[in-house]
Structure 1
Amino acid sequence: MKGLFTALMVSYDEEGNINEKGLREIIRYNIDVNRVDGLYVNGSTGENFMISTEEKKEIFRITKDEVKDRVKLIAQVGSVNLKEAIELAKYATDLGYDALSAVTPFYYKFDFEEIKHYYNSIINAVNNKMIIYSIPFLTGVNMSVTQFEELFENEKIIGVKFTAGDFYLLERMRRAFPDKLIYAGFDEMLLSAAVLGVDGAIGSTFNVNGERARQIFELAQQGKIAEAREIQHVTNDLITDVLDNGLYQTLKEILKEKGVDAGYCRQPMKKLSDEKIGIAKSIARKYW
C-alpha cells in the first residue's frame, strides 16, 4: 500500500450527473499516463460531500470495474452520518477495495472519544483496513500523537492521510509509528514530507501532474534533494496557477486538453468563464 495515490477526480455532466465514460477515461489516464500506484476514491477531489450515497456507490463500482486489479484502491467512506459511513464501508469492501479511509467527523465539535468511536464503529463492521483522513484546516479536528496512538490500538487502523502543514507533528508521528502508513496530503509540500520519511502521498494534482510527483518522491528517497527541489518548484508554480484560476475546474480543463472527458464540477461549484477556460488551456500548454 506504499506509493503515490491519485485523489480521483470524477467527471460530471452539465446537470451534475455522473459521466461514466468520462470517469473511466480519468481512471485510465491516471493508470496509463500518470502511472500512479493507486487511486483514492470518493475523497474531496471527487466532490464527495456534494453527492448522494447511491452516487458514491456508483463511483466505487465504476472505478473497481475499470481498474480490476491493476492498481491499489482506497475507498474514502467518511461521513458525518455514521450509518452511511458503515454502509459505504461494507459496499466498498464487498467490491474488493484494498483499504478504507474516513475523514474525521466534522461540523459538530466532536470530542476525541466520539471520534474514536466513529473509527472503531466503521472498521469493526467490516473485514478491511482503515486509513484515517486527517485534514484539520477543513474539519477543525486536530489530534495529538497520543490520540493517534489510541486510534492505532485498533490493529485494523493501519495509517493516516496527513493533510496538514504541521511538520513537527509529522516528524513526531513518523518517529512514534514506524510501522504505520503515513501518506502526505499536501501536493505542494510533497518534498518536505518525503524527506521526513512518509510512505507515500495522496494528491489531487496527481490527476495531471503524477509524473512530476513521482520524480519528487523518488529523488527524495535517493537523497537527491537539490534535483527534487527543482521539480517541486515547477510543481508549486503549477499549483499556484491552478489555484488562482479555480482548483478543480482548472484541473478538469487541463485533463480535457489532454483528451480526457473530465466533464464539469457539481454545483454549487461554478463553471469557469470563457476567460478562465482560456487561462486553463494556457496552463496546460505552459507545463506540458
Structure 2
Amino acid sequence: MFRGSLVALITPMHADGSVDFDSLAQLVEFHIQNGTDAIVANGTTGESATLSKAEQVEVVKAVKQAIAGRVPLIAGSGSNNTADAIALTKALDEVGVDAMLSVTPYYNKPTQAGLIAHYQAIAAVTTTPQILYNVPGRTQCDLANATVAELSKVSNIIGIKDATGDLSRVTPLRQACGDDFLLLSGDDATAMAFIFSGGDGVISVTNNARPALFKQLCDAALAGKLVEARALNAKLVPLYECLFVEANPIPVKWAVQAVGATACTHYRLPLTPATEATQQLVRQALEASA
C-alpha cells in the first residue's frame, strides 16, 4: 500500500503566508496524473513547523478531499511534545488517513528509552498505522536500529522513514524488523541504493518537481532492473544536489513553480525565497532531467 514513489508534498502559500488551497488541490492532481504512489501531507517539506495545529489538520483535510481515495494519504503527526503529538494524532484520526508519519522529538534530545515511551504513548491512542520518521540531520535525535526493532513489536507501528542516508542500516533493519515492516528512504540521493538494499520505496522531495521520472526510477529499482534504474537515477542526480543548497523546501518550491505544476513561490518566515544563484542551479538541473 505504501511502496514505491511517495511524495513529501509541499504546501503552496499565498504572498501573505496563508495556505493556497486551490493550488494544493492542483498539486495533488498533478501527482496522481504522474503516477505518484502515495502522498505525504503536513511533513517537513510541507512546512509543518510553521503551520498551526488547526492549519495542519485543514491541509490534511484538503489533500484527502483532492485525492478522493485514488492513492493512499499519509499525514505528518509528529511533535517534540508527546502530548501535542497525541492531540494531533487524535485530530487526524477524525479526518481519516491511511497512515501517519511521526518525526522523532526535535530539540529535546531524548534517550532511546524516551523515544520508545514517546512512540508507544502515541500508538496507544489510535489504531491508524504509524510510521516512524528518523531525520537526525534536522532533529539532532537518532532512532537506533535496536530502538526501531523494539517499536516494530507494537502492532500499529508499521514502518520507518529513514532519512539518515546511511545505507549500512538497511539490511540490519530488515533483519531485525522482518519482511512486513515498511522501510522507506527519506534521502533522495541514496534512495535507489536503499531500495536495492531491501527498502520498499521513498518519501521524496525531488518527486515534487519530477514525479513521473521519480516513479519510473522507483519502479525499476523495485523490479530489480539495475541498469535501467541507474540510467534514470543519473538524470535526477543534479536535482538531488541542488534541492538542498538552501533549506528544504526553499529550492523545491521554486522548482515546482518552474515546471508549471502550480504557482507556489511563497513561504513563511523564517524561510525566505530562493536566491538567484539557487534558481539558476535548479533551472539547470530541471533541464538535465527533462
TM-score, normalised via structure 1 length: 0.92
Secondary structure of 1:46 counterpart: coil
**What do the CA deviations read for 1:186-234 (whole angstroms, capped 9, x no partner)?**
1111111011121111011111122222222222233321221122122
1:207 corresponds in structure 2 to 208
* Mapping 1:8-157, distance limit 5 Å: 8-33=9-34, 35-157=35-157
* 1:251 is the counterpart of 2:249: no
In structure 2, relative to structure 1, the CA distance for the partners of 1:247 and 1:287 (3 Å cut) is farther
How far apart, CA to CA, are the structure 2 residues paired with 1:276 and 1:240?
Answer: 11
* 1:196 is the counterpart of 2:177: no
In structure 2, relative to structure 1, the CA distance for the partners of 1:169 and 1:243 (3 Å cut) is closer
Secondary structure of 1:45 counterpart: coil
AA partner of residue 105 (structure 2) = P
Is 1:25–1:261's contact at 8 Å kept on the other side of the alignment? no
Is 2:77–2:89's contact at 8 Å kept on the other side of the alignment? yes
Secondary structure of 1:142 counterpart: coil
How far apart, CA to CA, are the structure 1 residues paired with 2:214 and 2:226?
Answer: 14
Can you give the 5+ residue segments of structure 1 that lack an aligned partner in the other structure?
none
In structure 2, relative to structure 1, the CA distance for the partners of 1:13 and 1:131 (3 Å cut) is same
**What do the CA deviations read for 1:238-280 (whole angstroms, capped 9, x no partner)?**
2223334665233222322333122412111112345654554
2:221 corresponds in structure 1 to 220
AA partner of residue 81 (structure 1) = N
CA RMSD for the aligned pairs?
Answer: 1.9
1:261 corresponds in structure 2 to 263
Stretches (4+) displaced over 4 A: 273-283
In structure 2, relative to structure 1, the CA distance for the partners of 1:107 and 1:220 (3 Å cut) is same
2:289 corresponds in structure 1 to 287
How far apart, CA to CA, are the structure 1 residues paired with 2:244 and 2:114?
Answer: 34
How far apart, CA to CA, are the structure 2 residues paired with 1:217 and 1:49?
Answer: 28
**What do the CA deviations read for 1:155-185 (whole angstroms, capped 9, x no partner)?**
1111111111221221111122222011111
Of Structure 1 and Structure 2, which has the larger fraction of its residues in helix? 1
The alignment covers a number of residue pairs equal to 287
TM-score, normalised via structure 2 length: 0.92
In structure 2, relative to structure 1, the CA distance for the partners of 1:287 and 1:3 (3 Å cut) is closer
1:239 corresponds in structure 2 to 240
**What do the CA deviations read for 1:5-52 (whole angstroms, capped 9, x no partner)?**
10010001122111111111111111112x111111111100111221
In structure 2, relative to structure 1, the CA distance for the partners of 1:247 and 1:105 (3 Å cut) is closer
Is 2:245–2:251's contact at 8 Å kept on the other side of the alignment? no
How far apart, CA to CA, are the structure 1 residues paired with 2:283 and 2:220?
Answer: 29
Point out the more displaced range, 114-123 or 37-46: 114-123
AA partner of residue 115 (structure 1) = L
